[in-house]
Amino acid sequence: MGRLSGKVAVITGAGSGMGRATAELFAAEDATVAVTDLSVESGKKTTAAIEASGGRVRFWQMDVSSEPDVAQTYAEIGAEYGTIDILVNCAGVIGPDKPTHELSEREWDALFDVDVKGVFFSTKHALPYMMSKQAGSIINFSSIYGLAGNDEFTAYHVAKGAVAMMTKQDAAIYGRHNIRVNSVHPSTVLTPLVEGIANEFPGGMDEYEKVNTANQSIRRLGRPLDVAYGVLYLASDESSWVTGVNLPIDGGFMAR
């Protein structure tokens, strides 16, 4: 018996990176996993990897920024499995590296449509299943920069701050239904996207890691599985008295 036996988990952005690592770990812990991603190719790769390991999984293509698409997808997942026990809101985009005075309205809205409204839509359409059985766990992906500011990627960091606050608000509201809502806040993690950036960095991966861990107490970059294990704890019954928590998984960045 795994730590998630008997649970149905929906994971957005599960086609790659931390979303894929979470989906694979959940399946290994005996959850039934609904993999969702905008990319069919990436989503099917995750699904194939889980199937090859003997896991229970199905893929749905879904655009988290479209409420009609989200509503239809969750209706299909509910019809397929009868319930939704766990929701992991991992889908997100980074957007342009611009300060406030250089951002256009279109750039701002495009990022918030995915990183904030995407969390809102998925949470909204998963909640009725959880409320009907008076149980559930929602884990939102934010960032250390949802808790602290810096001089880069303004729109992304503000969006992640909104996710941190949405986590606390929903935790305060839905605890009466025994629904827990928590968020994870990674620092730099070696996802495929970050690996590509690091390999193009002057000095390569070693220099990129040195620069990006200078403010951490553990001087290495995170791996997707480092974060996935934190998500697993928050999804499992082991954290049944934990809600409204913004959990840094950051090599000690927030400790310094």
Of 149, 152, 127, the residue nearest 138 (C-alpha): 127
Residue 145 per-residue DSSP state: G
State the alpha helices, DSSP H only, in the chain: 17-28, 40-52, 67-81, 105-115, 117-133, 154-174, 192-200, 204-212, 224-235
What residues does 126 pair with on adjacent strands? none
User: What is d(CA 159, CA 162) in angstroms, rounded to the nearest whole number?
Assistant: 5
Residue 15 CA: distances (Å) to CA of 8, 12, 62, 245: 18, 8, 11, 26
What residues does 33 pair with on adjacent strands? 9, 57
The answer to whether 139 and 89 have CB atoms below 8 angstroms apart is yes
Residue 177 per-residue DSSP state: G
Enumerate the active-site residues: 156
